Structure 1
Amino acid sequence: MSQSPPTRALPWLEPGQAFPPVETAWGAADPAPGLLAAGGVLDMPTLVAAYSRGIFPWYSSGQPILWWSTDPRMVLEPSAFRLHRSLRKTLQRWLREGRLEIRIDQEFERVIRACAHTARDGQAGTWILPAMVEAYVRLHQAGLAHSVETWLDGELAGGLYCVNLGGMVYGESMFSRRTDASKAALGALVAFCKAQGLPLIDCQQNTAHLTSLGAHLMSRADFCDHVRTALAQPSPPWKFLPVYWQHLLSDDGPRA
């Protein structure tokens, strides 16, 4: 009778220790494909080093910090974003009626805390733990993490937060208090990336919802190559101008 190969030991990181090569992450035959290492800290140098190498933290309460580099990686090219007809009509109506405003970085901490408390299908808890919130607030204060906020009728109705290093955008999480509010924030991020010439948004996890929006899988090797190139580019000015909607609502890109 054949036996499954033993699971490789997971590297344990001490604070300040360099990450192992992403190619050493657990593979398809291991219990958690894409898991690279455990331990370390969530300080700014460690997070910047992680994102610069195609690595991200993701863990639950009671676990050590877990670091991942999945293969393949889910990515969204803004040019391939599928704007569903119903959302297009909703955005056009909100804008026509003067009810919708997109703001960037006005309420970052409110956004990340709202993401942490949003229930997810198939998840009993949240991975955005207090230590994660504190770490990404520090990234935001350093100009490396940003919130894209959907304000409806003068109230914060939804939004998302992301990390930006050079020309690379890493999507993290979204929340919504009103129908389509988080989708509006994602649409605004796509429009922003188009306006700024940013060709790729990292989505990390493969989900059917992201696929329906035009996201696709990219090999880890190709993703890391893209990251290295994007890091050499300057970061864009994080401000959303209403004219950016034209990049989403008036183009000839994919529709659904």
Structure 2
Amino acid sequence: MTKLSVNINKVATLRNARGGNIPNVIKVATDCENFGAEGITVHPRPDERHIRYQDVRDLSPVVTTEFNIEGYPSKDFLELVKEAKPAQVTLVPDPPHVLTSNAGWTVKGNESLLEEVIAELKSINARVSLFMDAHSTEFEAVKKLGADRVELYTEEYATQYPKDKIQAIAPFKEAFKRANDLGLGVNAGHDLSLENLAFLHQEIPGILEVSIGHALIADALYYGLENTIQMYKRCLMK
């Protein structure tokens, strides 16, 4: 079954808007697990505009499911990850100024960086996933670098889904097959929602994990966190 990992960045954004510790990201993370989430995802950025580095340190001993830390492999990020020792590290090619992740890796030109970082992360027994576009032709290069998984960047799928869901899913089905044939596990994330998640799962049931934050936290304002997590999990059971 495809696992649901809840990205709690938006909870930290709300906390930071007012200062203090409301909402408490540690409590939200444990509540998400208690309500059925199989993982917690965070994406700390250098300016700490949502999840702070100290949040990652505080979450590390608390998360009892799968802790997934996303980010660009800067020196500070790698030091934080080695301290937190998550189950999975998802490497993304985000420059510091971007609002949210908006592209997958281009492996060519980044081979030395990625090979070194992946080996470093493997030394702390972390699973390594690379954030990749579905249209990428570099999955074989990802495998050669030593990564365990790719996370398919699903913004294009989410944008096209209301217009033509068959056309929207097609490149992702092909990307899954190419990655799977190489022995890479496949995750997915970005702009997944209650509207489009069930069809993604129906068409690509072999996806191992979806990471969902913005839509899920927004839905929780209307439906409540526990109910929302169960709604998303039902999308992954159809």
The TM-score bracket by the shorter chain reads 0.3 to 0.5
Q: Which has the higher contact order (CA 8 A, sep 6+)?
A: 1
Structure with a larger share of its residues in strand: 1
Q: TM-score, normalised by structure 2?
A: 0.32
| Higher-Rg member (1/2) | 1
| Larger proportion of helix | 2
Provide the TM-score with structure 1 as the length reference: 0.31
